Amino acid sequence: MDVCKSIDEIRDVVKSLKIEGKQIGFVPTMGALHEGHLTLIRQAKEKADEVVVSIFVNPEQFGPDEDFESYPREMEEDLKKCEDEGVSVVFAPNRNDVYDEEKFIRIEVDELNRHMCGGSRPGFFEGILLIVNKLFNIVRPDVAVFGQKDIQQFQIVSRMVHEFNHSIELVMAPIARANDGLALSSRNKYLSAEEREIAPGLYRALSYIEKQILNGVHTPSLLMKHQMSELEAKGFKIDYLGVFDKNTLQLSETLNEGGEYILAGAVWLGKTRLIDNFLIEL
């Protein structure tokens, strides 16, 4: 397995693979790899001949009061996991390799970041698009795999690929879950033992709401309020809980037959922010 630190190095390695006629699959990560990331790598291996994984904690997607400094960094363990999964190349650049000290050009997002995670994390998706656009230009993969857990990210990146004319196939892998339903996340490491017991409450709330919607409740606002109260009683602090149009990512008060929706929630449990979602087709 090659481990590339510089942009020139990763470009040379990928160029050599492409000269051999290899299809390149790409999985961008911030490290602290868990089973969810490994499922993305496995999906990439199914879609391409060689897999490149990037490991880079992107400072541009953290707000001033968020956990950039404390975000888990486990490079040695991450490299071992990548090697065990048959990854061909890991791209692990330094911050100065990726970003100039002074930047003059920005990416902005309209509408698609108004709700869900974008509603409470200003600048978050602009930071994601900045790094993903850079990584696509550096690695030039044929296929890139993202996880459904970050579905708003996937939808916004998909729009960027379309509008910026990237010649890349995007694949969304299903959410990887613990046995009790909790969506796997690098930030789950922050949970105390007591919080970890409570954490699947978000998954259960979404599961209940999904069941009611599929059983015919197409104006779910009262359902949402009830489940928010239940979660708050258990110690969660609600960021958002709602049903959103899959394409526009706007809040949907009334659901229509034939519609495609994202039932999604984000909550705080202590110092840990948890997100989860279900896709619903009526």
Indicate which residues carry an active-site annotation. 37
Longest Cα pair distance anywhere in the chain, in angstroms?
59
Nearest to 205 by CA among 116, 274, 128: 274
Q: Which two tokens stand for residue 223?
A: 């359902």
* Opening angle at CA 41, ends 40 and 42, nearest 5: 90
How many residues can be counted in the chain? 282
Q: How far apart are the C-alpha atoms of 265 and 276, rounded to whole Å?
A: 6
State both tokens at 105.
Answer: 């050009």
Joined together, the tokens standing for residue 24 give 């390149």
Ordered alpha helix ranges (H), the chain: 7-19, 35-47, 75-84, 95-98, 117-120, 124-139, 151-163, 193-198, 201-214, 221-233
Which H or E run contains 274? strand 272-281
Residues in Cβ contact with 255 at an 8 Å cutoff, skipping those fewer than 6 apart: 213, 218, 219, 220, 243, 261, 280, 282
Report d(CA 121, CA 94) in Å as an integer: 25
Between helix 124-139 and helix 7-19 the angle, nearest 10°, is 50
* Structure tokens, 75: 């490079």
